[in-house]
Structure 1
Amino acid sequence: MAIKFENVGIAVRDLDATISFFTDLGLEVIGRDTVSGEWADTAVGLEGNHARIAMLQTPDGHGRLELFEYIHPEAIESDPTRPNDIGMHRVAFSVDDIDEALQIAARHGCRPLRGVATYQDAYKLAYVRGPSGIIVMLAEELRKT
């Protein structure tokens, strides 16, 4: 059986603000839509499923995020995920300049959970609390070839 990774889906409280955050970091919007109907109810498993969605991808085309803002049923707020919670953990991106990426995140009111760390002189890493509480890992490779 062949398998191919398609995307990570994330429910957000404000689709436009979340799109702005990720496009400022360098992702590209490749589609937007509003979905509803029997097919959406069946696929997602929610009666009356109705959502605004956007598909974003990295410039190299290898990574995609599907963002969705629920119109119905009403979105359920929960406590922000912590790094040691079971379940969906984070979304990670390689960046050329972590300081620039953190400045972009800060313009959106998003800050590192603790700071910037260096892993084995190979990467500078930071976990940022993004829009809707999404944990976004930013990583700059230090040993560029």
Structure 2
Amino acid sequence: MIHELNHVGGPTRDLDAALAFWTGLGAEVVDRLFMEGSRVHRVHLQLATGLIELLHSEDPAPDATFGLNHIGFMTDDLDADYARLTGLGYAELTPPRIAGSGQGRLAFLSDPNGVRVELLQRSEEFRVPPITSGRVRRLAYVALPAPDLDAAVEFYGTHLGMRRDPSDPGTFRIGDDAVKLFQPAPPGSTPINHLGLLTTAAEPDAHDPDGNRVTFVPSP
């Protein structure tokens, strides 16, 4: 069963620049390791209540792209959930395997609109209690493009088991975390359209060094 929206992540061109941006918003590094086999640095940042995964390759491919490109969910039965979802027709991307970090197992599939979805099964817990020292109070939502809105609603609501927010029919929650489906999506330059951050005051949108957009939602 899928029980947690664990992180939103993707490759970064300049790890130091990305870290400077996110820590400038109040994020803290809660996990960092180097995967020898792929020569990739993996960093988990916690921003208020949510996890952001940055992946920096020491040997990026010439055609590599950068920016947040997937959303990760925790499951207590990776093989069963992967088989169930791909059996429903969702595209297989990476079948279940041991993670490159050696921490548990993972698999990737595609949602009905082409968003990469990672399924994880591991015992490690990187999330710490909510970080409230900065101006960001909560990672309010991960914004996903959903040209086929009905299919996305079925995927996240029915098949992933997220609950629909009664105050916003386009938002689906699991625990304290949420995805927000957009049809049409606001202009964006990365596969994950943007992150919505609940803040103490209104601010203009910002972009990190990889083009990821963040929208600041003032707390009521």
- Alignment of 1:97 with 2:201, yes or no, is yes
- Report the alpha carbon displacement of residue 16 of structure 1 after superposing the two structures with TM: 1.0
1:58 to 39, 47, 62: 47
Q: CA deviation at 1:71?
A: 1.5
Measured at CA, do residues 89 and 56 of structure 1 come closer, stay the same or move farther in structure 2, by a change above 3 Å?
A: same
Structure 1 length normalisation: TM-score? Answer: 0.59
The alpha carbon displacement at 1:2 in A equals 3.9
Q: Which runs of 4+ in 1 moved over 6 A?
A: 79-82
Shift of 1:84: 5.5
Query: Contact 1:50–1:73 at 8 Å: present in 2 too?
Result: no
Over 3 Å counting, the alpha-carbon distance change for 1:75 and 1:21 in structure 2 is farther
Residue in 1 that maps onto 2:55:
68
1:128 aligns with 2:117: no
Deviation, structure 1 residue 97: 2.6
**How do residues 1-145 of structure 1 correspond to structure 2 at under 5 angstroms?**
1-37=1-37, 49-59=38-48, 62-74=49-61, 76-78=63-65, 83=187, 87-99=191-203, 126-141=204-219, 144=220
Distance 1:15 1:79, change over 3 A: closer
Secondary structure of 2:4's match? coil
Aligned CA distance change for structure 1 residues 73 and 130 (closer, same or farther; 3 Å): closer
SS of residue in 2 equivalent to 1:131: coil
Give the number of equivalent residue pairs.
103
Q: Describe the superposition over 1:40-98 as per-residue Cα deviations: whole angstroms up to 9, x where unpaired.
A: xxxxxxxxx32112110023xx3000011112343635598972679421122111133
**Identity across aligned pairs (percent)?**
25
Structure 1: state its 5+ residue gaps.
38-48, 100-125
Q: 2:22 is matched by which residue type in structure 1?
A: F
Q: State the TM-score, normalizing by the size of structure 2.
A: 0.40
